[in-house]
Amino acid sequence: MRRVLPVLAVLVVVLLGTPLAASAHDVLESTSPAAGSTVPRMPERVSLTFSEAPLSIGTQVVVTGPAGAMQQGAPTIEGRVLTQAIAPSAPAGSYTVTYRVTSDDGHPVSGSFAFLASTGLDGSTAAPGTVLRPQADPADDSSSFPLAAVLLTIVGTLVLLAVGGFVALRSRASDQH
């Protein structure tokens, strides 16, 4: 019995600790401009704030508006904030920002958000009745939580506890004989 309990304790800690580390992907916390917002003037840059500092490897930000892609230069990362400059020729209108970063655990995190600029950096104004373009399916895996992993963890923990209980009872019964 004394030999079984430490082994069971280690197995429970490993089993319960593994899914927590595996599901620690970065999450997009906020954007500037805010998703779905209308801004009076096109910003010179867009910013995305994540729950953890993303890695610079594989970082991509595409800012698409009425005149096509309007990002300028490479995106920068300072702490948890990813920033992408916008070309000074960006006109007024509906914009979609699509991003892909590598979370601090090495997994890709991607998604998109949209906003409307009433006045462009080029001085143009949005036509009356311009509406925010509906976003395409963002395939945002930063906010999805793997239900299967949670269920497997629960089932695995219950199986481990059942096996441990069986071994402990059997060990106790053999010690008594």
Question: Distance (Å, rounded) from C-alpha 94 to C-alpha 91?
Answer: 9
What's the pLDDT at 42?
Answer: 97
| Nearest-angstrom CA–CA distance, 170 and 114 | 62
- In this predicted structure, the answer to whether residue 137 has a pLDDT above a threshold of 50 is no
pTM exceeds cut of 0.75? no
**R_g (Cα) of the chain, nearest Å:** 25
pLDDT in tens, 69-102: 999 999 999 999 999 999 999 999 999 999 999 9
Query: What confidence tens digit (pLDDT) does each residue in 16-49 have?
Result: 555 544 456 789 999 999 999 999 999 999 999 9
Q: Which of 92, 134, 138, 97 is nearest to 116 (CA)?
A: 92
- How would residue 177 be classed by pLDDT, with cut points 50, 70 and 90? low
Residue 126 CA, chain-centre distance (Å), reads: 32
Comparing CA positions, the residue from 59, 60, 32 lying closest to residue 46 is 32
Q: What is the pLDDT of residue 128?
A: 85
* Lateral strand order in the sheet of 38-39: 38-39, 108-117, 93-102, 55-65, 68-69
The predicted-structure confidence for 121-135, as pLDDT tens digits, reads as follows 999 998 888 877 665
Considering the four listed CATH numbers 3.40.50.300, 3.30.2020.10, 2.60.40.1220, 3.90.550.10, the one that applies to the domain covering 26-143 is 2.60.40.1220
Measured distance CA(20)–CA(14) in Å, rounded = 10
